[in-house]
Structure 1
């Protein structure tokens, strides 16, 4: 064989082998690519904290540590602010219950009273209430029934329109019933959580050797205080004081139905400048007058717009005068 052909033969063989090797490698994918990664489980998100929890956490950074108490109510841990009476012989403790949207140091009523009551020889304990889940259940908005179709002659086709309207009405009634039952169940759950926190507050007051315990509620807090005392009737609580009382929008029974059932001295302080508040206060007063053994008293105040300090001082003097009736300064 000539030398030229001997030199060309290896190159020819190599050109024939390389395409075969490349095709084999392409047909045999990498083992790593063949193995599918294990499916990852979706990460479970922690439930968002309640608004009341976030506000309490913010207050913990600015309120003196010695005033803060972490109380336990079932599975709930909540912030309470405690100030002992500024005397060697305290008269007792006042448990302050804020209303909806208010904190344990709210600038209207809650904060001023909790800070001033120790000077009136009463310890003060303001507590955080949970968010009301019943408020989140919105009632269904009723939609008008569709206009029944008419036949070509211009008259109503009553044979088809009537059944359609009946079905639509039946579905609406069922939806209304479901919403009402859900709201009622959630309202009961809200009451249980709130009552557990008031129980914890009373237990704490007893640990401080409070010889008298008074519950003071502001806004919707007055409603929950009255409902708690009406249903549970704890022997440790001597008096109830309601300030600017309101009934939560989605809650039953009304406050005017609860106050006559209370079997302890009750003071109802309201602002006469607001027509709706004045009307509600009158209903409570009339309901109490129907009972011969009523221990219900009512005090009206005038709002002082533009003078918050004087308004809060007025409220404090009224509360102090009712708590300490023998004090000549009141």
Structure 2
């Protein structure tokens, strides 16, 4: 064999052996992958907390532990703050229901009332409401006026413009109807969750041997409380107070329809300086006058935007006077 071929032969053999070695090494991890348990599942993400749950968790680090109560409503566990009355003979318990975006210790109405009512011989129990989903899918309430057409375009496209506009209008109506139906269903779902929490609060107040139970709602919390009392009519609740009441965007019926149906003494506390609140309060008052034997009363307050402390003290005094009319008279 010539010398040239004798030198080239080892290089040729090496070039054939190396790719085979690499292919074997690459194939080695396969058996390890095959040994992975077949029943192993991918790690599931924990569901995100609701905004109300996150805020409650933050409050748990600030509020004294002895005031905190974890109440159960169906599958929901929620934070409530309990302060017993500062007397050996309490008059009862006030269940305080915050409005949308408010916590169990909100600086307007909720916190001042829950902390100071015990000095008026009433225990207080403020509760956390779940996030209301119905407001997110509320139907449209504002219609946008379409821009005017150019004269020449109107003359050229007059035969096709009307059918297109009618079709677009029909699609919008169908979409709005679907949104409204979905919103109604979500309002019912929201109501059931909220009612379950108020039920749990009433049960807790009973466990504390409350002689009388009063429900007080602030903002949209007043609406949900009124709806709860109208639909459930719990015999344990003897009085109801609304403070700066508001009806959620997607909720029906409104407060003016709900309040006359309540079969217990009801106080409607509103701020007369705010035109919208004043007009809504007047509507509720007129609706109550149409019924005989109505136990509906109103208390007007003056807003003090420059002095929040004085404004909250004014509210606490009015609520205490309504709860303890004899003491207020003296």
Whether the TM-score (by the shorter chain) exceeds 0.5 is yes
Aligned to 1:256: 256
Paired position in structure 1 for 2:318: 318
Q: 2:15 aligns with which of 15, 22, 42?
A: 22
Q: CA deviation at 1:31?
A: 3.8
Deviations 1:156-190 (A, max 9, x none): 452x4443333222221211111111111111111
CA contact (8 A) 2:223 2:247 kept: yes
* TM-score using structure 1 length: 0.89
SS in 1 for 2:103: coil
How big is the shift at 1:142?
6.1
Calculate the TM-score normalised by the size of structure 2.
0.89
CA distance, structure 2, for counterparts of residue 19 and residue 85 of structure 1: 97
Aligned-residue RMSD, C-alpha: 2.9
Residue in structure 2 matched with residue 56 of structure 1 by the alignment: 56
For residues 1-330 of structure 1, the aligned pairs below 5 Å read: 13=6, 15-26=8-19, 29-31=22-24, 33-34=26-27, 43-139=43-139, 155-156=156-157, 158=159, 160-328=160-328
Larger Rg computed on CA atoms: 1
Distance 2:243 2:190 in 1: 21
SS of 1:309's equivalent? helix
Q: Which moved more, 1:83-92 or 1:14-23?
A: 14-23
Give aligned pairs, total.
322
Q: Contact (CA 8 Å) 1:109, 1:315: kept in 2 or not?
A: yes
| Shift in CA distance, 73/161, structure 1 to aligned 2, threshold 3 Å | same
Assess, with a 3 A threshold, how the Cα gap between structure 1 residues 151 and 297 changes in structure 2: closer, same or farther: closer
Superposed displacement of residue 50, structure 1? 1.0
Q: Distance in 2 between matches of 1:144 and 1:302?
A: 39
Taking the aligned partners of 2:275 and 2:219, their CA distance within structure 1 comes to 16
Q: Do the aligned partners of 1:91 and 1:211 also contact (CA within 8 Å) in 2? A: yes
The alpha-carbon deviation at position 312 of structure 1 amounts to: 1.4
**Is the contact between residue 223 and residue 246 of structure 1 (CA under 8 Å) also seen in structure 2?**
yes
Q: Is the 8 A contact 2:139 2:250 kept in 1?
A: no
Once residues 274 and 316 of structure 1 are traced to their aligned partners in structure 2, the CA distance between those partners, rounded to angstroms, is 19
CA contact (8 A) 1:149 1:157 kept: no
Distance 1:27 1:74, change over 3 A: same
Give per-residue Cα distances to partners, 1:241-299, cap 9 Å, x unaligned. Answer: 11111111221111111000000000011111111110000000000000011000101
Q: Secondary structure at the match of 1:95?
A: strand
- 1:153, distance to aligned residue in structure 2 (A): 12
Structure 1's unaligned 5+ residue stretches are: none
Query: For each residue in 1:66-114, what CA deviation from the matched residue of structure 2 results, as whole angstroms up to 9, or x when unmatched?
Result: 0000001111111000000111111110000011111100111110110
* Contact persistence 2:138–2:250 (CA under 8 A): no
Unaligned runs of 5+ in 2: none
Aligned counterparts of 1:220 and 1:174: Cα–Cα separation in 2: 29
Shift of 1:308: 1.9
Distance across 2 between alignment mates of 1:151 and 1:305: 56
CA contact under 8 A between 2:91 and 2:121: conserved in structure 1? yes
The offset of 1:206, in angstroms, is: 0.6
CA distance in 1, matches of 2:26, 2:210: 73
Q: Distance in 2 between matches of 1:89 and 1:218?
A: 27
Q: What's the CA shift for 1:20?
A: 2.6
